Amino acid sequence: MKEILKNIKLGQIIGIYHFENSCFTVGKILKIDSKYLFLISYDINFKEDGIKVFLIDSIKRIILKSDYMRSLEKNQKKIVRFNRENKDIFQELIKNRIKVSVELADGSVEEVYLIEKGEDYFSFKILNDNENIISEEIITKDYLKRIKISNNIEREEYKNFKVITTKNDDEYIAYDLSYNGNYLIFLEKEEFYDIAQINIIPKNMIESISEIEVKLDTTKENFNDLIDFEKDLEIIEILKKCLENKFLVFIDNADFFETKVGVITNLENNKIKIKEIDKYGNFYKNSEIYFDEIQLLAIKNYKLGV
């Protein structure tokens, strides 16, 4: 990939697959050196959400052009605000032709348009990666585990949540719960993104709903404002900025069991120490990570009080 990247201009928007194609990022190139690729990263609504630094050897695919990236760049994603108390959300999806994700009982996930909801079934138009319709299918309601809708939000990231556990052991960290007939509708917490996933699941799938209190103190701030793009684009300089300003970091490696998320507490010659945050949004352990373990470093636009 190093030879390919040499021929890509700074400022170009590209897509990156890494870790055996399981993770995808869209971003604008800031710098390419002998070891790392530096990007301004974008969320699914093409809003800047921080900086990502990739170990070039961990990159598996580079997307130079795609319909998805072009639609992101034009910021054409439809966002609909649902009045969930007074309207039939299913009819809103049909009327506004909103693309949704559906998770099925076999574990597969499809991107679809809902075209009809019957008493015991749903009719969908199935989409490919370029959002072209490839088939039309009818799926029984008991085979449908979840409908998920992406939506912009303007809110503080962490507050008090509920934990929803289903009979097949799925767990959702949720807020703003309401009911629509035989379905529970809720917003699912997305870690430090200005995106909320509206989820719809059958009420009869629910095993329990419990309270959780999040004590994390966070403030939104643009990390890019701290960077002098002429001289600070080295991974060690970025790590120093994160340490000094208590910015949230995501650090990953193909061999990690899960992404390490937290705040850097110490920076040494060959390693960092971080205070990790668990999936419920609370500090739970301290970890050490050596520089040569960092295959992906992502800095979100959030500062933490520690």
Could you give the residue range(s) of every CATH 2.30.30.100 domain in the chain?
89-212
Q: pLDDT per residue over 27-61, tens digit each?
A: 888 888 888 999 988 876 677 888 999 998 888 88
What 3-state DSSP class applies to 58?
helix
| Tokens describing residue 213 | 């209190």
Could you give the residue range(s) of every CATH 2.30.30.600 domain in the chain?
2-72+217-305
Mean pLDDT of the chain: 83
Give the right CATH number for 89-212 from 2.30.30.100, 3.40.50.300, 3.30.230.70, 3.20.20.70: 2.30.30.100
- The whole-angstrom separation of Cα 22 and Cα 61 is 11
Least confident interval from 4-18, 239-253, 274-288: 4-18
Q: pLDDT per residue over 65-109, tens digit each?
A: 766 666 655 554 445 555 555 468 898 889 888 889 999 999 899
- DSSP code per residue over 119-180: SSEEEEEEE-TTS-EEEEEEEEGGGEEEEEEEEE--S-S-S-EEEEEETTS-EEEEEEEEEE
So what's the architecture of 2-72+217-305 in CATH? Roll (2.30)
| Tokens describing residue 167 | 């009979």
DSSP assigned state of 189? P
